[in-house]
Amino acid sequence: MRKKLLAIAAVGLLATATMTACDDSNKSSDASGSSGSGGGSGKARIGVILPDTESSTRWKDVDAKYLKQAFDAQNIPSEIENAEGDKANFVKIGTDMINSGVKVLIIANLDSDTGKAVLDKAKEKKIPTIDYDRLTLNGGADYYVSFDNEKVGQLQASGLISCLSADNVVNPVIAELNGSPTDNNATLFKKGYDSLLDPKYDSAEFTKGPDQWVTDWNNEEGGRIFSQMLSQQPKIGGVLAANDGIAGAVIKVLRSKGLAGKVPVTGQDATLDGLKAVLSGDQCLTIYKQLKPEADTAANLAINLFQGKKPPVDGQIKDPESGAYVPAALLQPVLIQKADVKTVVADGFVSKKDLCAGKYAALCAANDVK
């Protein structure tokens, strides 16, 4: 496991702009399959590399859309591609962009090693870089835009504690399914939730159960891991699952044992499936990270850099591997439990039509989802 991240400072948003969904190919495109926003080999543009389309629906449907909208609003050419979980492809995309005229590069890394390989190539060409959502350890990016990720973990733990308390559960065994060990965010989430759970273990209010990382945030692997956990420790009374995808896999296992809705499960990302599970009671909570402000902030930084400006940010973080401080813009996450789902819909993050169809219509009405 990588070292922990230190010294996070919150800052205000830097932008008012808005962003393109990437298709299942690597390039950001519209329905006709055309590439990017004026992007193309040899043209000055902003390059964006996203990590995959499996670990979270955000990388498939959300971030690329908001980023492109923001660039287009300022008539800034862009090229947005997705590495589809392939580390070699991530480096190839970055190398091709760097060698073909990008003036600014935004990356959401698959891991720090491949992220650093791309950042190093950009540095050789004096191309400004932004780490997006995930810090590349020892990468030396010029800026970092993300959420307060320790706070994410703290909210997950506080929500889980609240759910267990509401159910009057005594000395529950807590299982932890962490994210990918190569994702620094997963380390920060764990640092956050363990800061609240460890005192509960020490005081014997809770019992620490199995604790395992889920490689590459793979949901199927998360389900297999939890199935083994439950076989070895049938009295698991609460599950700290690092995101909604892993939570869904856990809930599937619990359902097969007749335990869905009886064992509180956390999540993260406020995905459509996660919100449905929160409404139904199968999932205790999710964490809402407002992706448009995150994307707007990164896009505004990149646009300034593209225009030859050096935008200031008020925050900074310390890279735990290099010891260097990286200028940082960190946004605040929001805890979402059943009564809070309506705020996610009101923000337009998910639509009422998608969330409240079929059996969820009555649950939406009961929780004032409009």
Read off the pLDDT band of 61 (50, 70, 90). Answer: confident
pTM for this model (two decimals): 0.82
Residue-level pLDDT at 14: 37
Fold of 149-288+335-366: Rossmann fold (3.40.50)
Residue-level pLDDT at 55: 86
User: Average pLDDT of 120-144?
Assistant: 98
- Check pLDDT > 80 for residue 12: no
- Check pLDDT > 90 for residue 304: yes
Architecture label for domain 45-147+291-331: 3-Layer(aba) Sandwich (3.40)
Residue-level pLDDT at 57: 85
**For residue 364, how many other CB atoms are within 10 A of its CB?**
20
Residue-level pLDDT at 271: 95
Dihedral of CA 359/365/366/370: which sign?
positive
Q: What one-character-per-residue DSSP string does 120-177 give? A: HHHHHTT--EEEESS--TT---SEEEEE-HHHHHHHHHHHHHHHHHHTT--S-EEEEE
Residue-level pLDDT at 40: 58
Q: What contacts 266, CB < 8 A, 6 or more positions away?
A: 156, 157, 159, 160, 239, 240, 241, 247, 283, 284, 285, 286
Closest C-alpha to 280, from 364, 350, 206: 364
* Location of each CATH 3.40.50.2300 domain in the chain: 45-147+291-331, 149-288+335-366
| Structure tokens, 311 | 């935008």
User: Average pLDDT of 44-66?
Assistant: 94
Closest C-alpha to 237, from 193, 173, 281, 194: 173
User: Average pLDDT of 330-334?
Assistant: 97
Please report, for residues 177, 182, 190, 250, 323, the alpha-carbon distance to residue 1 in angstroms, rounded to integers and kept in the order given: 14, 8, 11, 23, 17
Helix (H) or strand (E) holding 317, with range, is strand 315-318
d(CA 63, CA 49): 11
d(CA 174, CA 153): 15
d(CA 13, CA 297): 6
User: Average pLDDT of 354-358?
Assistant: 97
Share of the chain above pLDDT 90, in %: 86
Read off the pLDDT band of 2 (50, 70, 90). Answer: very low
Residue-level pLDDT at 41: 59
Which pLDDT tens digit goes with each residue over 177-215? 999 999 999 999 999 999 999 999 999 999 999 999 999
Residue-level pLDDT at 308: 96
Closest C-alpha to 153, from 240, 95, 28: 240
Instruction: State which amino acid sits at residue 167.
Output: D
Residue-level pLDDT at 6: 35
d(CA 286, CA 341): 9
* 104 contacts 83 by C-beta, under 8 angstroms: no
Read off the pLDDT band of 342 (50, 70, 90). Answer: very high
Which pLDDT tens digit goes with each residue over 148-171? 999 999 999 999 999 999 999 999
- Check pLDDT > 80 for residue 11: no
Residue-level pLDDT at 19: 34
d(CA 290, CA 304): 22
d(CA 79, CA 27): 7
Burial of 170 (0-12, 13-18, 19+ CB in 10 A): exposed
Q: What is the mean pLDDT of the chain?
A: 90
Read off the pLDDT band of 56 (50, 70, 90). Answer: confident
Which pLDDT tens digit goes with each residue over 79-120? 999 999 999 999 999 999 999 999 999 999 999 999 999 999
More confidently predicted of 1 and 262: 262
Residue-level pLDDT at 21: 33
Burial of 232 (0-12, 13-18, 19+ CB in 10 A): exposed
**C-alpha dihedral (116, 117, 122, 125), degrees to nearest 10:** 130
Residue spans of alpha helices (H) in the chain: 58-61, 63-73, 87-99, 112-124, 149-166, 184-202, 219-232, 244-256, 272-280, 291-306, 341-346, 352-355, 360-366
- Check pLDDT > 60 for residue 248: yes
